Structure 1
């Protein structure tokens, strides 16, 4: 067979050492021999990571008090309880018995028998005498259960064993529920239990469908899907090792965000690389050379994207809450592993398998091929033409739409109650309703006050006089500290109960003697301290994330004006996403959000929103060097429109999979991020940014300009190349 040769295309946009590194890396992952070494390395990683990923659930910690900073009073209360008053670690369970017509003698006998059985077989402390309501229709038992910071299964099993005891031989018609902190933890554990495989399967199913629609090939979609699955397993394995041996805090939500992000972002990277590879297959007869160029041209944008998201999420380590600090490394690890897989394992697999994977639309070598010419009659060419005709009208209208949606932020409500945290009925919520119906609403979760023994009497009188306290009593003295409890008049997760905690703390701080050293804990205090910590984190982390993203954009685009414009656009887009999502939450009857949603939503929408802008503007900059500012901007939009839109739809659909978890927080998180991504994909990246770029003109690239940089030989389409045999 005749072989035509040309000098290998080894240049890149980056000068000097960077260009050399890009060329060497591209040759390594797609070389004729080195591709097999890459595949072997990943097989070793996958064999280890897969077995470890299955254990990730074993190291999750979903206890709310472990998320808080050590300075919070509720955290100090937990530490005092564990040190002096509890048998190591414990959590309070409440068993509620209710009968509409009033408790019968058989019911009361059952309650007494249950108390004895629980004391003998389950409780790690005293089971309190049954409290009977004034109307005689309900009663409850409270007692501590064993828990473990490193294994939530200990508490879950204890609650399940309690359930077996209290529901065995129960009189007909007696309603029995398990509530309290232990019941709530068990319900959350059951909600998340077994969801790993279901969520991963759902995410991969959504991605598979969208890849089929994108590629219209019965084979090609399998390759990126397999790669992202394997990458997610390696990432989960790394996170497991850090959680097991380095103290990294992982909870159920961060584990699922890791999984969803790996699948969604990995597919995005695959779409962009494969699209560029397909272009280069038209320009090069040899698929190895085509992949080398594709990797070299795609790698700077993909690396910038991964670095932006990774560094932005690592900002979370400066948060005050342990859960926030843990989420940053978890996400950064996932992004790093996915980036490496998509820029090494995926290219190796594609060149090993050859062109036939694109069947039936196999890209053939076409000398003089121009991607923009191929797309000149397509949808994105028409969009680009419309933007080019009236850029000022386009960006003004886009900002108008975003501003209208942002008005929805006025409807945002924070402060979810326990009853609002699940999308299905659970025992702990139903039990809380029964308690509120027959007892003071705060009976299920009294405040725990720990005070030096010398100040206990003063502290007790002070707490009893606080408005919102139904009753207070002294329970026990140990280790120089006295444990007081206070029952709220209101439900423990209500805003009124949180106000009572604040009044209690203020009153104790102003009291005389050692009572001023008292700390107030319990479930309500944990919720209050969590909300306060989240507010503090927003004030610190949001500006820090913006600064990091701005710096990354400046480094990527080698400009100042464009990064400022792009950063402003994603901030406006975030406000619009929050407004639109809030209106949707009201429409589906989940109006209140957890305060933490705002910070997490901001992080992902700013970081991921910038992603698509980086993909667009990196290609625009490349085209501007060849065609000038106006033509380069419109060409960049034309040739990237389809693939970036597909990437946005894939990522949005992947995050929607979080709605499968029956908690309101997961549903709202998935919907908020999906809405924001779609706004960035279809409005900000497609219309607003190109229109602003045209209106601002070449000044957007200040202080430099791509047109001032002489195009390198490699930036011209290849005309001939070595003929690829066996493709």
Structure 2
């Protein structure tokens, strides 16, 4: 670099600029920080709300609104006795039903009914009773279910045990499991990053500056996400809330590490800290912006998803990356320039002058490009220079072994009772319910049929294997009404009727989903306009939509990233190879994940959205590190030639990119503290995938393959044409001992 290009601002600007920038970020943090605890209030974990309007189960929900004004979801209270319950004691259980119906948030009765709670319903074996409690306050389902459990616990007979389960109970326990997102997750992620930065830089100041940059980016992002969610522009879920925190902390730290590395390098070349930050900012600006832009655009490709949860994550995560970029390029430079060399205390970089940093004047016996490079990255560079083809082939074979397990990945969805990994009263209650009742009671399959074909459709539903009972919907039942008298007529709306069908198997099981498929296959023969929905159908449609999103989104993301890389590197061949490398890395990460999930952790399967989320994060973030590497390689290649430039670029970026990869892996691994199957699986896939990409793909596969190809890697750019004409001489004369 030319010393004359350095710029030192006037004294007043050196005071004003950091003050204004830091105050603006403090203002954003002062508003965004308190908002962090409010995100849960605008977050929804209702699976049905994430389905597209075209899904059959969504259409059924819309029809249900015409038959009842209530959006209530059922909680099932199941009481199991150590001995048979005599019929004479059912009256005492009826009193419990009245107390359950009096809980705030439970649907209130209309007309002469005293309660909307159905029950007590005795089991056939006489050892259990159940109540179906409609929870109307769906926004406060956690509180309502907690109150129901308190009522059950305080009114149980001495020889009985009670559980609150069903859709409402499972939703409440899911919300409880997500409770750690507001505190524990962030604490673990920040703690892990702090320890890693402390070990990498051996500085007591710098980790605080980097983490402050990340936390300010998060608070600003949260402020905007909260506003968008409260205005109804996006749908926020517990999953996307957790991913937002982790993504911002990880990405902002990665960008900060790149800038810090350039700043430390510049402090050795120039004495002025303003000149150093100017050099660092100019050198880091292009790769940071290119990296961030790639991730943002890749995330926004999720807008093409049909599943609302996927589509909403795109802008939510993209907002996080935008503020990560802004904080790394505005707040961090001001913090670094204020602290100067003291930021690295106690190991402050010394000013030695540019002449001592020029690689062409040092270590003349080394392989061209590795002058001045020491330690691990010198040995890696020597390995690549001496045996490039063997290196990239060995790396590819290792990745191929990992990919061998990929067909074992079971990502077709799991039952809702398997989603929660911690102890759950609702999950335990489902097991008790299955022992004594039709497991699908309380969560019926809902069939919308033409009124003129109601009886025929009802008969067809009853004949379907897996259905234990079915009935036409006649409206709310008054439990105090006498049993005698004519049967009520079914309710008809716009020429349609509802049929509620009780499943013999648990509503969120694979067997139940198969029943829904069978109904959708057979019922159109009776009624061509029939629709099949309900809790089970919602889960089925969610899985099917997630799998179709995977096939659609992957090509879009790859095409977009390929174009960005071509524009950035001014080449065609290099971007194609980089894209291929991250796809191979992604497949290898999924392969190892399949082995770990199935054979080590014994998970029942994987959420259908796991492969798509893993792809978006691994491909976008994996390209990040290749961008950091290849932009520096291109910069060095312009000076000293392609092959030496590859070795030089790898040597000077090796430690910083590896540190960034470890930080990002640690932040995503923090997701595992939330006992939700989806988040634990995403935590492992991304953390392992990032480490695999950092250690194998970026350190060995990409540089070795690029070195083996040589100058044609830049085809058809000007760099390729110029190097082809000049054919710079590349030295390979390092001794065998130096290679070792």
The alignment's TM-score, normalised by the length of structure 2, stands at 0.89
Consecutive unaligned residues in structure 1, runs of 5 or more: 11-22, 711-727
- Secondary structure of the 2:440 match is helix
Q: Which residue of 1 aligns with 2:487?
A: none
1:364 aligns with 2:364: no
Q: How does 1:596-615 map to 2 (within 5 A)?
A: 596-615=609-628
RMSD between aligned alpha carbons?
2.1
Give the Cα–Cα distance (whole angstroms) in 1 for the partners of residues 718 and 472 of structure 2: 74
Tell me which of 379, 387, 390 is aligned to 2:387. 390
User: Is the contact made by 2:445 and 2:501 (CA closer than 8 Å) also made in structure 1?
Assistant: yes
Give the Cα–Cα distance (whole angstroms) in 1 for the partners of residues 721 and 268 of structure 2: 29
Give the Cα–Cα distance (whole angstroms) in 2 for the partners of residues 140 and 343 of structure 1: 60
Distance 1:638 1:6, change over 3 A: closer
Deviation track 1:197-226 (CA, whole Å, cap 9, x = no partner) reads 111111100000000001101111110011
Deviation track 1:593-614 (CA, whole Å, cap 9, x = no partner) reads 0110010001100000000000
Q: Which residue of 2 aligns with 1:669?
A: 682
User: Is the contact made by 2:96 and 2:152 (CA closer than 8 Å) also made in structure 1?
Assistant: yes
Tell me which of 447, 450, 453 is aligned to 1:449. 447
1:178 deviates by 0.9
**Once structures 1 and 2 are overlaid, which stretch shifts more, 171-180 or 282-291?**
171-180
Tell me which of 81, 94, 109 is aligned to 2:64. 81
Give the Cα–Cα distance (whole angstroms) in 1 for the partners of residues 186 and 317 of structure 2: 16
Q: Which residue of 2 aligns with 1:97?
A: 79
Distance 1:106 1:177, change over 3 A: farther
1:538 deviates by 1.2
Q: Which residue of 2 aligns with 1:184?
A: 170
Give the Cα–Cα distance (whole angstroms) in 2 for the partners of residues 181 and 607 of structure 1: 36
1:543 aligns with 2:586: no
1:692 deviates by 0.4
Deviation track 1:320-368 (CA, whole Å, cap 9, x = no partner) reads 0111110000000000001000110000111012211211111121112
Q: Which residue of 2 aligns with 1:688?
A: 701
Distance 1:484 1:209, change over 3 A: same
Q: Which residue of 2 aligns with 1:469?
A: 467
Q: Which residue of 1 aligns with 2:633?
A: 620
1:486 aligns with 2:501: yes
Tell me which of 118, 121, 128 is aligned to 1:128. 118
Tell me which of 418, 429, 437 is aligned to 2:416. 418
User: Is the contact made by 1:235 and 1:333 (CA closer than 8 Å) also made in structure 2?
Assistant: yes
Give the Cα–Cα distance (whole angstroms) in 2 for the partners of residues 684 and 604 of structure 1: 16
The alignment's TM-score, normalised by the length of structure 1, stands at 0.91
1:377 aligns with 2:374: yes
User: Is the contact made by 2:186 and 2:246 (CA closer than 8 Å) also made in structure 1?
Assistant: yes
User: Is the contact made by 1:314 and 1:328 (CA closer than 8 Å) also made in structure 2?
Assistant: yes
Distance 1:392 1:132, change over 3 A: same
Distance 1:303 1:393, change over 3 A: same
User: Is the contact made by 1:310 and 1:332 (CA closer than 8 Å) also made in structure 2?
Assistant: yes
1:309 deviates by 0.4
1:425 deviates by 1.9
User: Is the contact made by 2:189 and 2:670 (CA closer than 8 Å) also made in structure 1?
Assistant: yes
Q: How does 1:19-418 map to 2 (within 5 A)?
A: 31=14, 33-87=16-70, 89-103=71-85, 108-122=90-104, 123-124=106-107, 126-148=116-138, 152=139, 154-367=140-353, 368-370=355-357, 375-414=372-411, 415-418=413-416
Give the Cα–Cα distance (whole angstroms) in 2 for the partners of residues 129 and 80 of structure 1: 26
- Secondary structure of the 2:405 match is helix
1:647 aligns with 2:660: yes
Distance 1:205 1:371, change over 3 A: farther
- Secondary structure of the 1:143 match is strand
**Once structures 1 and 2 are overlaid, which stretch shifts more, 53-62 or 391-400?**
53-62
Tell me which of 503, 511, 515 is aligned to 1:500. 515
Deviation track 1:375-395 (CA, whole Å, cap 9, x = no partner) reads 522211111111111010001
Give the Cα–Cα distance (whole angstroms) in 1 for the partners of residues 39 and 380 of structure 2: 45
Give the Cα–Cα distance (whole angstroms) in 2 for the partners of residues 561 and 445 of structure 1: 55
1:99 deviates by 2.0
Give the Cα–Cα distance (whole angstroms) in 2 for the partners of residues 194 and 397 of structure 1: 42
- Secondary structure of the 1:7 match is helix
User: Is the contact made by 1:449 and 1:520 (CA closer than 8 Å) also made in structure 2?
Assistant: yes
Count how many residue pairs are aligned between Structure 1 and Structure 2.
684
Give the Cα–Cα distance (whole angstroms) in 2 for the partners of residues 366 and 653 of structure 1: 35
1:81 deviates by 2.0
**Once structures 1 and 2 are overlaid, which stretch shifts more, 111-120 or 556-565?**
111-120
User: Is the contact made by 1:146 and 1:158 (CA closer than 8 Å) also made in structure 2?
Assistant: no
- Secondary structure of the 1:424 match is coil
1:169 deviates by 2.9
Give the Cα–Cα distance (whole angstroms) in 1 for the partners of residues 605 and 679 of structure 2: 13
Q: Which residue of 2 aligns with 1:460?
A: 458
User: Is the contact made by 1:625 and 1:707 (CA closer than 8 Å) also made in structure 2?
Assistant: no
Distance 1:524 1:210, change over 3 A: same
- Secondary structure of the 1:517 match is coil
Give the Cα–Cα distance (whole angstroms) in 2 for the partners of residues 133 and 28 of structure 1: 83
1:522 deviates by 1.3
